[in-house]
């Protein structure tokens, strides 16, 4: 069930809100749990019991690790979690590699990837790590732990919510009209990002790829990929954060205007923050981080980015994508940082290499990827043609909205107006949000179905 579907917006969510606020506070977690399990069952009927089994195992491991503080139990818990992830996500990929080494046709097993396994696996691992390191106490109520993992806003595509961030909210939280209204605002903005901007960029890139491509067309498609992935995933995160606020939960931000970054290092402080912080806290720092020799530090960065690429998918392009960022980050660390200042050149440098990265991210077929990259950097045909001009004219306004939405200028301006207590601003905000919601619903009804990109991870 998608957040951007009619069934979710007009049936699931209203029923949940009604049931949640009509019952006593003591029973509200159980309402969220029941609806969250139904949400997962609706999208993944075959794997609901697998999810419950994995959660129960981690609940038991948490209690055992807390009591015994035995490293062997901790390692076993991590290995079992990774074992499930590797089996469901990477079995066919590794078999394909093994068979190709001997020039044999690979055996492909019919293994369907469970929805959200990459996200809830990392949440389980973060919980076990924090319990082992005595950063949090273990959760002794299984249903509360189950609610933490399966809570529907973040279950399928993140953000990766750590137990330490919401353990207090699980037992004692305050729901009020202010946080609920903040949640509505955030949810509508996220919905609009997805169905208006992200899907709009998807349709444009599809049309351009099917057209007679000019040199400029390749770069327009690359920019479409960049905006599509950003607005798709940040839109989902906005909706997840907004839904959390409906019920008194405060999830941390997952994006902080990454396209205003002035270096690749800065970009990754702003992009998919919950994932980058996970790898930093549970992989990079335990390996020694930067408090070691230069060579070992480079090794640590390589391991983190190889794993980051692999986490995104069982495909060579994601491994290449991870290594690509490793190379850029090492170049910055060794000598580029002293030249990168907060200026237009640094900003353009970052956008250029980020744009290329999303091309690598988008093509799982390596041959198609290199053909596309060749088109971006060699002029073999027209520099620009009539089809390119046509699409530029028809989608110019959409590009403008994507550009404005990718920076904080508009948001900061509205904050200044709010501080100045402009009387008409509240009415305008309501009208603007209602307009966005109606346009989004119109798009959902009339457009072709487009699932969230990060659902496949």
Let me know whether 28 and 61 are in one domain: yes
Q: What is the rounded CA–CA span in Å between residue 115 and residue 307?
A: 20
Q: Which of 38, 112, 201, 54 is nearest to 455 (CA)?
A: 112
Give yes or no for residue 411 having a pLDDT over 60: yes
Q: How many domains does the chain have?
A: 2
Does residue 302 sit within a domain?
no
Token pair 């038991």 in the structure block, residue: 60
**Residue 230 placed within a domain:** yes
The reply to whether 305 falls in a domain is no
pLDDT at 418 over 80: no
Q: What would the two tokens of residue 196 be?
A: 């208006």
Q: What is the 3-state secondary structure (H, E, C) of 249-298?
A: CCCCCCCCCHHHCCCHHHHHHHCCHHHHHHHHHHHHCCCCCCCCCHHHHH
Helix 344-362 and helix 316-331: axis angle, to 10°?
160
Predicted TM-score (pTM) of this structure: 0.93
For residue range 434-454, what is the model confidence (pLDDT) as tens digits?
A: 999 999 999 888 876 566 666
347 noted as active-site residue = no
- Given 173, 205, 237, the domain boundary residue is 173
Q: Look at residues 110, 139, 173 and tell me which one is the last residue of a structural domain.
A: 173
pLDDT tens for residues 183-219?
999 999 999 999 999 999 999 999 999 988 999 999 9
Catalytic member of 28, 89, 193, 312 = 312
Q: Give the CA-trace dihedral at 90, 96, 97, 103, to 10 degrees.
A: 170
Q: Which of 151, 173, 195 is the last residue of a domain?
A: 173
Say how far apart CA 424 and CA 155 lie, in whole Å: 38
Whether 419 and 207 have beta carbons less than 8 Å apart is answered as no
Q: Kindly report the CA angle at 196 between 195 and 200, in degrees rounded to 5? A: 95
pLDDT at residue 399 greater than cutoff 60: yes
Residue 392 domain flag: yes
pLDDT category at 69 given cuts 50, 70, 90 is confident
Bond preceding residue 47 cis, omega within 30 of 0: no
Whether the per-residue pLDDT at 423 is higher than 60: the answer is no
Using the structure block, give the residue that is written with the tokens 């939960």.
249
- CB within 8 A of 144, min separation 6: which ones? 29, 170, 171
pLDDT at site 230 = 96
Tell me whether residue 130 is in a domain: yes
Tens digits of per-residue pLDDT, 284-313? 999 998 888 899 999 999 999 999 999 998
What is the pLDDT confidence band of residue 101, given thresholds at 50, 70 and 90? confident
pLDDT (average), residues 50-57: 96
Confidence of residue 82 (pLDDT cuts 50, 70, 90): very high
pLDDT digits (tens, 9 = 90+) for 130-144: 999 999 999 999 999
How many beta carbons lie within 10 A of that of residue 194, not counting itself?
27
Q: What is the pLDDT of residue 111?
A: 85
Structural domain includes residue 288 = no
Residues 190 and 169 in one domain: no
Average model confidence (pLDDT) across the chain = 90
Domain extent for 79:
6-173
In whole angstroms, give the CA distance from residue 327 to residue 333. 10
CA distances from 296 to 290, 293, 306, 346 (A): 8, 5, 15, 28
Do 185 and 244 sit in the same domain of this protein?
Answer: yes
Residue 1 counted as domain residue: no
In terms of domains, do 223 and 117 share one?
no
Residues 184 and 258 in one domain: yes
């Amino acid at each position: 069930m998608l957040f951007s579907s009619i069934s979710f917006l007009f049936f699931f969510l209203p029923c949940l809100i009604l049931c949640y606020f009509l019952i006593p506070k003591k029973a509200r977690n159980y309402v969220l749990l029941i609806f969250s399990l139904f949400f997962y069952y609706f999208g993944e009927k075959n794997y609901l019991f697998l999810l419950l089994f994995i959660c129960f195992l981690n609940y038991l491991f948490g209690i055992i690790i807390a009591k015994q503080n035995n490293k062997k139990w901790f390692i076993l818990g991590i290995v079992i979690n990774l074992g499930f992830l590797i089996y469901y996500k990477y079995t066919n990929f590794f078999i394909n590699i093994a068979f190709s080494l001997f020039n044999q046709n690979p055996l492909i097993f019919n293994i369907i990837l469970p929805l959200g396994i990459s996200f809830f696996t990392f949440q389980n691992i973060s919980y076990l790590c924090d319990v082992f390191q005595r950063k949090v106490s273990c959760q002794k109520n299984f249903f509360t732990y189950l609610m933490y993992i399966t809570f529907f806003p973040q279950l399928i595509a993140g953000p990766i919510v750590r137990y330490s961030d919401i353990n207090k909210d699980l037992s004692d939280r305050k729901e009020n009209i202010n946080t609920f209204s903040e949640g509505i605002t955030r949810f509508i903005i996220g919905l609009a990002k997805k169905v208006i901007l992200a899907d709009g960029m998807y349709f444009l890139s599809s049309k351009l790829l099917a057209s007679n491509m000019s040199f400029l067309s390749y770069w327009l498609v690359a920019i479409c990929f960049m905006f599509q992935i950003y607005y798709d995933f940040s839109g989902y995160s906005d909706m997840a954060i907004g839904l959390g606020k409906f019920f008194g939960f405060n999830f941390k931000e997952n994006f902080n205007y990454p396209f205003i970054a002035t270096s690749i290092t800065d970009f990754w402080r702003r992009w998919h923050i919950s994932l980058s912080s996970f790898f930093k806290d549970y992989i990079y720092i335990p390996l020694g981080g930067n408090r070691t020799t230069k060579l070992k530090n480079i090794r640590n960065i390589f391991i983190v980015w190889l794993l980051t690429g692999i986490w995104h998918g069982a495909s060579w392009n994601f491994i290449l994508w991870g290594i690509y960022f490793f190379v850029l980050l090492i170049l910055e660390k060794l000598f580029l940082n002293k030249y990168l200042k907060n200026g237009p050149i640094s900003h353009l440098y970052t956008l250029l290499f980020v744009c290329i990265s999303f091309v690598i991210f988008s093509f799982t077929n390596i041959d198609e990827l290199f053909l596309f990259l060749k088109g971006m950097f060699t002029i073999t045909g027209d520099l620009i043609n009539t089809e390119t001009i046509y699409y530029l004219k028809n989608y110019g306004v959409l590009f403008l909205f994507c550009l404005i939405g990718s920076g904080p200028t508009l948001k900061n301006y509205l904050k200044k107006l709010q501080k100045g207590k402009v009387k008409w601003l509240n009415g305008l905000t309501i009208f603007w949000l209602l307009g966005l919601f109606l346009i989004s619903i119109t798009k959902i009804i009339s457009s072709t179905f487009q699932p969230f990109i990060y659902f496949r991870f």
